[in-house]
Amino acid sequence: MIYSAVRKKDENGQDMDLEIKFNVGDLRRVLDLGESDDDPTIIPKRLCKGLWCRMGFT
Protein backbone atom coordinates (compact mmCIF):
# COMPACT_ATOMS: atom_id res chain seq x y z
CA MET A 1 0.00 0.00 0.00
CA ILE A 2 1.25 3.47 -0.88
CA TYR A 3 0.12 6.52 1.03
CA SER A 4 0.07 10.10 -0.07
CA ALA A 5 -0.90 13.17 1.94
CA VAL A 6 -2.30 16.28 0.34
CA ARG A 7 -3.38 19.63 1.74
CA LYS A 8 -6.77 21.04 0.97
CA LYS A 9 -8.81 24.00 2.23
CA ASP A 10 -12.16 23.31 3.83
CA GLU A 11 -15.24 25.53 3.46
CA ASN A 12 -13.96 27.82 6.27
CA GLY A 13 -10.60 28.35 4.57
CA GLN A 14 -8.76 26.18 7.10
CA ASP A 15 -6.08 23.75 5.97
CA MET A 16 -6.93 20.10 6.30
CA ASP A 17 -4.80 17.06 5.55
CA LEU A 18 -6.23 14.28 3.40
CA GLU A 19 -4.69 10.85 3.24
CA ILE A 20 -5.04 9.01 -0.04
CA LYS A 21 -4.39 5.27 -0.16
CA PHE A 22 -3.53 3.46 -3.36
CA ASN A 23 -1.42 0.50 -4.38
CA VAL A 24 0.67 -0.63 -7.33
CA GLY A 25 -2.35 -2.31 -8.91
CA ASP A 26 -4.21 1.01 -8.89
CA LEU A 27 -1.28 2.75 -10.59
CA ARG A 28 -0.97 0.03 -13.21
CA ARG A 29 -4.70 0.26 -13.98
CA VAL A 30 -4.79 4.08 -14.21
CA LEU A 31 -1.62 4.29 -16.31
CA ASP A 32 -2.75 1.32 -18.43
CA LEU A 33 0.51 -0.59 -17.83
CA GLY A 34 -0.92 -4.11 -18.02
CA GLU A 35 -0.90 -6.70 -15.27
CA SER A 36 2.64 -8.01 -15.55
CA ASP A 37 6.02 -6.29 -15.20
CA ASP A 38 6.98 -8.03 -18.46
CA ASP A 39 4.13 -6.44 -20.47
CA PRO A 40 5.34 -3.88 -23.03
CA THR A 41 4.62 -0.34 -21.92
CA ILE A 42 3.53 2.40 -24.29
CA ILE A 43 2.74 5.63 -22.49
CA PRO A 44 0.24 7.85 -24.33
CA LYS A 45 1.55 11.19 -25.65
CA ARG A 46 -0.94 13.24 -23.61
CA LEU A 47 0.16 11.51 -20.40
CA CYS A 48 3.84 12.15 -21.13
CA LYS A 49 3.14 15.79 -21.94
CA GLY A 50 1.15 16.24 -18.72
CA LEU A 51 3.86 14.62 -16.61
CA TRP A 52 6.62 16.77 -18.11
CA CYS A 53 4.54 19.94 -17.65
CA ARG A 54 3.90 19.11 -14.00
CA MET A 55 7.66 18.75 -13.49
CA GLY A 56 8.13 22.27 -14.87
CA PHE A 57 9.37 21.51 -18.38
CA THR A 58 7.93 23.35 -21.35
* 3-state helix/strand/coil string of the chain: CEEEEEEEECCCCCEEEEEEEECHHHHHHHCCCCCCCCCCCCCCHHHHHHHHHHCCCC
Can you give the pTM of this predicted structure?
A: 0.40
Query: How many domains is the chain built from?
Result: 1
Domain residue limits at 17: 2-54
pLDDT, tens only, 5-46: 667 777 888 877 777 778 888 877 877 777 777 776 677 788
Instruction: Using pLDDT thresholds of 50, 70 and 90, give the confidence band for residue 4.
Output: low
Query: CA quadruple 27, 47, 53, 15: dihedral positive or negative?
Result: negative
